[in-house]
């Protein structure tokens, strides 16, 4: 396997990002009972305009492996972030590329971007049942913040996580 490169998405890749995102969310059961989120996931141009759309690509082949939307407080897709915090949303990895470190590469790219912008923390939400994501975020250093758990619509429960960029050694 060749290394994974994370960079800004190009508009010509938006359709591929949309397909990949929907496939990833379907594969882990996030669209099983309610597909109302699917149009938001597929609207890649709007996501890219509201924040920074990052993609992970296989360096050797150029194949798109995953994507994430990085946002700051007050932007259209910010849900939890406050002053001095960044947030990322809609992290997705092609089901065929899972296990290659793509999700971690995208997560670390968001942490680096937040640090470069002078943020003191990164916050995110995940579905309660997405245990592979929970393992990834714990491994990277995110800490659960139950006081910020929330539900955007009935039946969709989200749990909150926080990464402190100011902690010693980071």
Q: Please state the domain count of the chain.
A: 1
The tokens describing 6, both together, are 């994370």
List Cβ neighbours of 7 (8 Å cut-off, separation of 6 or more).
54, 55, 57
Distance of alpha carbon 106 from alpha carbon 43, whole angstroms: 19
Is 170 contained in some domain?
no
Q: Which domain range does residue 160 map to?
A: 4-164
Residue 75: what pLDDT?
94
Given CA atoms 67, 72, 76, 81 in this order, what sign does their dihedral have?
A: positive
Is 105 contained in some domain?
yes
- pLDDT tens by residue, 60-72: 999 999 999 999 9
CATH code of the domain covering residue 113: 3.40.630.30
For 5-9, 23-27, 45-49, 78-82, which range has the lowest pLDDT when averaged over its residues? 23-27
Is 169 contained in some domain?
no
Strand positions, DSSP E, the chain: 4-8, 52-58, 64-71, 85-93, 121-127, 143-144, 150-153, 156-164
Reported pTM: 0.93
- pLDDT tens by residue, 140-156: 999 999 999 988 888 88
Q: What's the average model confidence in pLDDT over 2-31?
A: 91
Beta bridge partners of 143: 162
């Amino acid at each position: 396997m060749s290394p994974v490169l994370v960079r800004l998405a190009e508009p010509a890749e938006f359709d591929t990002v949309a397909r990949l995102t929907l496939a990833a969310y379907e594969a882990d059961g996030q669209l099983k009972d309610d597909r109302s989120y699917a149009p938001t996931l597929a609207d890649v141009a709007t996501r890219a305009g509201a924040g920074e759309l990052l993609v992970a690509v296989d360096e050797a082949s150029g194949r798109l492996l995953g994507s994430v939307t990085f946002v700051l407080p007050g932007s259209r897709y910010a849900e939890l972030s406050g002053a001095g915090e960044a947030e990322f949303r809609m992290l997705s990895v092609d089901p065929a590329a899972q296990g290659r470190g793509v999700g971690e590469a995208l997560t670390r790219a968001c942490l680096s971007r937040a640090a470069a912008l002078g943020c003191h923390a990164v916050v995110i939400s995940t579905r309660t049942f997405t245990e592979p994501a929970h393992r990834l975020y714990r491994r990277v250093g995110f800490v659960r913040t139950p006081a910020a758990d929330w539900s955007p619509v009935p039946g969709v429960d989200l749990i909150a996580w926080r990464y402190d960029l100011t902690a010693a050694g980071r």
